[in-house]
Structure 1
Amino acid sequence: MKQKPRKIALVGNPNCGKTTVFNLLTGSAQYVGNRAGVTVEEKEAFLKGNKNVIITDLPGAYSLSPYTSEEIVTRNYILNEKPDAILVVADASGLQRSIYLVLQLRDIGIPLVLMLNMMDLAEKRGIAINTNKLKNMLEVEVCTAAASKGQGVFEAADLALKTAEKPFVSSPGVFSREIDQAVNKIKTLILPFLKSADERRLAYFYAVKLFEGDKSVRSRLKLPKEIYEESDRTVKAVEDEKKDSSDSLVIGSRYDYAENVVGQCVNAPKRKDAFTEKADRILTGKYTAFPCFAVIMAAVYYFSAGPVGVFFSNAVKSLIAEVLADAVLSLMTGLNCADWLTDLVTEGIMGGVGTVIGFLPQLALLFLMLALLEDIGYMSRAAFITDRFFRKFGLSGKAFIPMLIATGCGVPAIMSSRTVENPSQRRITIITSTFMPCGAKLPVIAMISSMFFEGKWWVSLFCYFLGALSVLLSGLILKKTKLFSSADQPFVMDMPSYHMPLLKNVVKTLWERCGSFLKRAGTTILLASAVISLLSSFGFIGGKITYVGNIEDSILKNIGEVLAAAFEPLGFGGWQPAVASIMGLLAKEELVGVFGVLAPDEITAVFESSLAAFSFLVFNLLCAPCIAAISAIKKEMNSSLWTVFALAYQTAFAYTVSFCIYNLGAFFLWGNISLMTVLAFAAMSAVLAYGLSPKGMSNKKAL
């Protein structure tokens, strides 16, 4: 009979290095970032070299109370899957929060090992930990590791496997006599109703949770009404005696115990990280945080989209257009290939895909800068400084994380919205995060910038802030509707100490993001460019589809002319921009690919003015995202209706903003006045009045 694999669950606070540990133990390549919220669901893989052991990476959690989606996933997994052992990964430099979590896990009765990770950094800061005393006080096995250097991780897994073979008996000793007596009384009440051995092992945990008033445990147990009534009377007696709520008493007791353990087992200098403290006075200061953030983001975009990025992009474009394309054309001409096939390869595939790949250097530089900021530890600060500001717009500070990730790709940004606990705020985050310019949109920005604005770096920065402004304005608008009305929830996030970026992490991040871009260029973009090329080369003559060799008589132009009328009020009523906007739903890079196929040398002639080109850019930055992101929205919303609402809102918002920019721009730049100008003023006034009004629908009584 085949042996059932043993399971080790990795549990820990956000940003403690769990995913790095998981990658080392399994040989996996899960994304590692120096911020909270990287793991938003459990990941499983076999222990490297041992198919009899499964390692599970659970989302970061501060406690087993179901306050956040991560804590719900973690607790449900432990209670339902019942792993053989739990490996608690803790940041050795900030042990108190991890001990609080260990105290809760200990109540469950599953064998525990506490792994003190990042010991190299702790020792560098002068922090000394008495592991033997820590082991005795917590009654769990303790080991040390430095996962970023690959030290101590496999030893911790071996210790967890050995610990799993021994019966685990915990002597709580955390609560006062009154609380302990009440918890044990509740445990005695519920024990007869716990049928299985696994459930009886959880009796103490259940009793503590019932004492706290945990509604999810009450729903899970489904005990007789009289048991709950007796339990509630027991809790009420303690609350009256202590003059405090039961959950506060439990939380306070655990934190006091954790503080006592740290006080006795950890010897740390008064100033654990002088550099971090000094840097945070400036980077997170009351008056300096936002200016610093703006300067940092401006530097990122200047470096990636400015002279340096443009230089390398032009070099790649020249290589493709003047060397590779000419060589392929000569080869196909020499082989006497059919005209349509030559056009397909040289103008369609080489033109479309080549134009997109030409912007890879700028994307690589942007990804490099963001990866460095992330690994250094700045991005958690960015989420912190934006929280108070974001809440005024109906968003959580954690919405900054999806916004940040969206600058790379909208799909993981939408998925990372799970870190936002409030359901309404989470839906708003899903709907609005793709307003940020993702890596696929940057080639479009670079194309319009280089063709119409002399490659000015500030165009990219403006698009970034336009995306952020659209997120905030949409938050205001949506928050004031009944659909998105809800109470705020507290924002909790650990701030990692600043440290030098690890070359391995930065290179891996850069490789994954650039690789994803190239993969799309070699699949979706290649296929779409080929279709565009064929449609632009064939037309109807005499009722038959025939190779025409020119766009003017092509099928594509006929399709584009039908669609163009919808975009006329936005200033780009030509058939080429209309086709590009529709093809952008496949992949936003295809916006550039379409022009690479249709008008590689005449893009400036497609738009009547720079304002029209900018209106086209704004619409495609804000409208419904690519098909991959749409699929992610459907998955996260778990509702077709919510998905349709999200896409409708995104497209309507993009159309309104683009309409106002073009028509108001024409008024201020050239003095043009028409019905469209009046409608643009009315639309802008209505959106701003509703968004900025102190009261909205959410403040009215439901009928």
Structure 2
Amino acid sequence: MSSTALVGNPNTGKTSLFNTLTSSYEYVGNWAGVTVEKKIGSLKNGAGHLIDLPGIYSLHPLSRDEGVAAGYLIEESPETLINIVDASQLERNLLLTLQLLEYGKPTVLGLNMIDVANARGIKLNHEILQSRLGVTVLPLIARTGKGSAQMLSMLEKSAAIPPSSFKLDYGDIVEKALSAIQKELLAVPNLPNHRWVALQLMEQNPVILQFLKTRTDTAKLIALCDTCQSELQIKKLALTLPQWIRSTRMEYIHSICLEVMNTEEQKPHNLTERLDSLLTHRFLGLPLFIVFMYVLFKTTFDWAGGPLSDLLDGFITGPISEGTTALLQFMGASSFIHALIVDGIIGGVGGVLVFVPQIFILFLIISFLEDSGYMARVCLLMDSIMERMGLNGKAFIPFIIGFGCNVPAIMAARSIEQPKDRMLTTLLMPLMSCSARLPVYALFAAVFFPSQQATAVLSMYVMGIVLALVLCKVFSKYLFKNESSVFVIELPPYRMPQLKTLSRSTWEKGKGFLRKAGTIILAGSVIIWLMSYAGPGGLDVEMDYSYLAKFGGFIAPLLEPLGFGTWQAGSTLVPGFLAKEVVVSTMNIIYHAPDSVGLEHQISQVFTPLSSISFMAFILLYIPCLATVGVIKKETASWKWTFFSIGYSLVLAYIVSLIIFQGGRLLGWS
């Protein structure tokens, strides 16, 4: 089957078009760096595969995700290219377009966001653009699907799309060197386009250089580039060879834009600029963000999420539990089967599912903020703070994604250009409160802080961010010395998110929680129940004499200084390594609570407000879940850093919980 590569600058709508053309769904966000690896889907019409590559500004990679795109073009050579450009930022986007046209493959230019350009008073003549570039130009609005049918129709007849014949004259000196390099490349097998490879070599593209090193002696090729550089200097041109190539392209792009763009009606101050004057204000920006976050948590736990969770809890502990009990009695099931299903499965899994409304509401609001374009501004606001701590504001994007799940957040760190910043972000990501920890916070906040649930839960999120920044400063100073940090981020236009996009984004974020409920949490609940049901004395023993009690009692003395030195608390922590949600399901089984009210009552007898804060802090900070540990190993390619992340988080959890509990006792808190 034929393959088509989808290439463009970050945040130009590539993934939105990919979802439309393939009837699949990948994460879409109104900020740069959403796609961090290539995604492959089958076209709706069965005409072949579509590959969504990470957003890049040029084929010269600055980060790992950009390297994915450059590596794909040199190693796998797709049959067709779709280049998506932002019509409202045409001049900047065309730099990549020229590099892709020089690649020589059949190419279609998708002129996306024409609605944004029109709203700004920018008029474009796509027919002139098509004539100047020599390829088909198709106007699009990817997020609404406008133009996608025409694009799909073109791809169905991809064999009829002619190869790009675009060739830019770089001047006598460079053209002479290009010819010499192309002759040398004739002996290298499986190259997509010799002139394109020669140009990328002249631009010192590390991906292309590495590719050639494994196939030929590159010394002569580099010598030809050096000779060309020397001749440019003899001509007294104060530009390096890569700078000369770029300046030639930019001159050509500027001449195209003068013909294609009509900016006579361009508005001096659009809605985005007016909103940015307030939301990115030097003094008001951060306070407004804190207010937004408070409203987010207030809505999640008090105004909407709390009542919905109560209704779901009543349904699970009422009709479902009672109906299952009646059915098992009718079937004559044994007491063991009855206890396993009702107390183990329904009690364990159901105790976690009651928090589904709160989790989905949280994801819905976060998805709204992401798709509106506001989250990119938050990264800008956080840059000055994070820079003082050793990172830059771009790292805040993975941190925010980490509120949903740490695994994709760590993968999103690939979009960070500097290796030091990428490694720091990966190591600190487990300190972000993912959705798996949310049921624990919600449970304890409802018991001990019923009138301030939103504030109590928000404080855990803030604690994670603050500790991450503090540790970032420490790690930067002692582990990553003398490594600089550069912050570059694109601020997308504000837009009103579409209901379809919001619902799909919320579902994609939340379905992982439901999937865990049917797999890891279910399996964990059964294992925990069996450990509580059996003991050295046999089956159906008292809970205090079960294997679970023996297991929890082994680590309970270590937890005594933290305020929760009981075997029950100890028993919840180790299975929490599989998935943090299992902590709540384990509590439901241990305390044998018929409903959430019963569980809350049991917890209120064992914990105090002070020890509950200590416990929540420990859950926030201690060992990352198994999936997170796995992706840390994959991204760092180092067991040393993987074990370091496990070790420092466990030590940090113990120290922070110890300070909270013992410090609170010294101050007379209970």
Matched residue type, 1:204: R
**1:463 aligned onto 2:463:** no
Query: What are the within-5 Å matches in structure 2 for residues 277-676 of structure 1?
Result: 277-456=273-452, 457-482=454-479, 484-485=480-481, 487-541=483-537, 545-548=538-541, 550-599=542-591, 600=593, 601=598, 602-605=601-604, 607-670=606-669
Instruction: Answer whether contact 1:112 1:163 (CA < 8 A) is retained.
Output: no
TM-score (norm 1): 0.88
Matched residue type, 2:490: D
Deviations 1:364-410 (Å, cap 9, x if unpaired)? 11111111111111111112222232122222322211111111112
Unaligned runs of 5+ in 1: 672-703
Tell me what 2:241 maps to.
Answer: 246
Tell me what 1:10 maps to.
Answer: 6
**623-632 or 570-579, larger mean C-alpha shift:** 623-632
Shift of 1:329: 2.9
Deviations 1:533-586 (Å, cap 9, x if unpaired)? 221122222xxx2222x3122111111101212222222111111111111111
Percent identity over the alignment is 34
Q: Distance in 2 between matches of 1:351 and 1:546?
A: 19
**Partner SS state of residue 450, structure 2:** coil
Tell me what 2:222 maps to.
Answer: 228
**Partner SS state of residue 669, structure 1:** coil
Tell me what 1:677 maps to.
Answer: none
**1:136 aligned onto 2:113:** no
Deviations 1:84-106 (Å, cap 9, x if unpaired)? 22110112222122101111222
Q: Distance in 1 between matches of 2:332 and 2:205?
A: 77
**Partner SS state of residue 519, structure 2:** helix
Q: Distance in 1 between matches of 2:508 and 2:210?
A: 43
Shift of 1:199: 6.2
**Partner SS state of residue 243, structure 1:** coil
Shift of 1:606: 5.7
Shift of 1:334: 4.8
Shift of 1:630: 1.9
Instruction: Answer whether contact 1:184 1:204 (CA < 8 A) is retained.
Output: no
Q: 1:569–1:239: structure 2 CA closer, same or farther, 3 Å change rule? A: farther
Shift of 1:257: 3.1
**1:82 aligned onto 2:82:** no
**1:206 aligned onto 2:197:** yes
Deviations 1:294-313 (Å, cap 9, x if unpaired)? 11111111111224322221
Q: Distance in 2 between matches of 1:309 and 1:167?
A: 55
Deviations 1:253-294 (Å, cap 9, x if unpaired)? 333432332232112333276211100101112222211211
Q: Distance in 1 between matches of 2:253 and 2:566?
A: 67
Q: 1:293–1:307: structure 2 CA closer, same or farther, 3 Å change rule? A: same
Matched residue type, 1:39: T
**Partner SS state of residue 65, structure 1:** coil
**325-334 or 564-573, larger mean C-alpha shift:** 325-334
Tell me what 1:21 maps to.
Answer: 17
Matched residue type, 1:233: T
Shift of 1:215: 4.5
**Partner SS state of residue 304, structure 2:** helix
Q: Distance in 2 between matches of 1:317 and 1:224?
A: 67
Shift of 1:608: 4.3
Q: 1:490–1:253: structure 2 CA closer, same or farther, 3 Å change rule? A: farther
**Partner SS state of residue 94, structure 1:** helix
**1:97 aligned onto 2:92:** yes
Q: Distance in 1 between matches of 2:633 and 2:560?
A: 31
Matched residue type, 1:422: Q
**Partner SS state of residue 536, structure 2:** strand
Query: Which of 256, 261, 285 is the matching residue for 2:256?
Result: 261
Deviations 1:576-597 (Å, cap 9, x if unpaired)? 1111111111111111111111
Unaligned runs of 5+ in 2: none
Q: How many residues align?
A: 656
Q: 1:320–1:501: structure 2 CA closer, same or farther, 3 Å change rule? A: same
Q: Distance in 1 between matches of 2:446 and 2:635?
A: 37
Tell me what 1:190 maps to.
Answer: 181
Shift of 1:417: 1.4
**Partner SS state of residue 166, structure 1:** coil
**1:148 aligned onto 2:148:** no
Q: 1:662–1:128: structure 2 CA closer, same or farther, 3 Å change rule? A: same
Q: Distance in 1 between matches of 2:145 and 2:218?
A: 51
RMSD: 2.3
Tell me what 2:28 maps to.
Answer: 32
Q: Distance in 1 between matches of 2:268 and 2:124?
A: 14
Instruction: Answer whether contact 1:571 1:662 (CA < 8 A) is retained.
Output: yes
Matched residue type, 1:575: W
Shift of 1:185: 2.2
Matched residue type, 1:507: S
**Partner SS state of residue 539, structure 2:** strand
Deviations 1:433-483 (Å, cap 9, x if unpaired)? 22111111111100110111225120111111111112111211211223x
**232-241 or 403-412, larger mean C-alpha shift:** 232-241
Instruction: Answer whether contact 2:80 2:158 (CA < 8 A) is retained.
Output: no
Q: 1:373–1:670: structure 2 CA closer, same or farther, 3 Å change rule? A: closer
Q: 1:164–1:476: structure 2 CA closer, same or farther, 3 Å change rule? A: farther
